[in-house]
Structure 1
Amino acid sequence: MHFKFLLVLNPNIIFISAQAEVAAAYPKIRDADAQNSLLRAENGSMQEKLSVLSGEIMLKEATYHELKKEKEALKQLSLMHLSPAFADSSQPNHYGYPPVNNMAMDQPGFNQFVGAVAPPPMMQNQNTENEFGFDVNFGDNYNPM
């Protein structure tokens, strides 16, 4: 014999059951929401730190590349100075004459200016008498003797 059972649910029981499930799930949802908020704040902080560190590393990489170029230039300059060809070419050629390293700057004929220079002005004869006893600076051959 087969019996057929008809299950009839009482709407009040379903409602109470749903309320119990919501009441049990609410603390879990509240805790998950709080944890999610904390994770969002931590994520924002980490993104900010990442941005700052990215800027710093870009600056350090640029400085590194500049220093690397400067190192290479100094290395080339050092190799150039150490090469024998440079040592020969760096010595001034005096064409068989001794170098004039200690020449005094106030010697006559020393001119510190380069280029065309006007000739010095004519000096007036400081000796007022010539070899015959005549005063050359006066008009009528004035002789005070």
Structure 2
Amino acid sequence: MRIVVQRVSEASVTVAGKITGEIGKGLMVLLGIEDADTDEDIRWLSGKITGLRIFDDENGVMNLGIKEAGGDILLVSQFTLHASTKKGNRPSYIKAAKPDISIPMYEKMIAQLEMDLGKKIATGIFGADMKVRLLNDGPVTICIDSKNKE
């Protein structure tokens, strides 16, 4: 699994003109799933997301996690995170999992994040043509790959 985590002041997802998920201060997480991903990848990444100390404390130092900061999470599926650009200029998405694998994994990630965060998270709609808006705070943007554990 690959994720892109962005600390945001606000973020939302719109599908067909209707907002399907929105948050104020928190984390917008783009999630890419591949065939080799397991429940262990979900647990590890969820722990990383909810444990990242990237919110400012009272001294303006990035020292707080999302729970301490009182933030929310918006999770958006994004198969293009597994794009391969090794050959030519047209990306290949062969590593991205097909819906029969990725939909259940996406749903498990939602459940795990809600459990680890202790509240509901906002989401997009899997496979939909989504319009994502966000105001990146900082900017703070972090890429994490569960296979490399970095």
TM over 0.5: no
Higher relative contact order (CA 8 A, sep 6+): 2
The normalised TM-score by structure 2 is 0.14
Which of the pair is proportionally richer in helix? 1
Pick the structure with greater CA Rg.
1
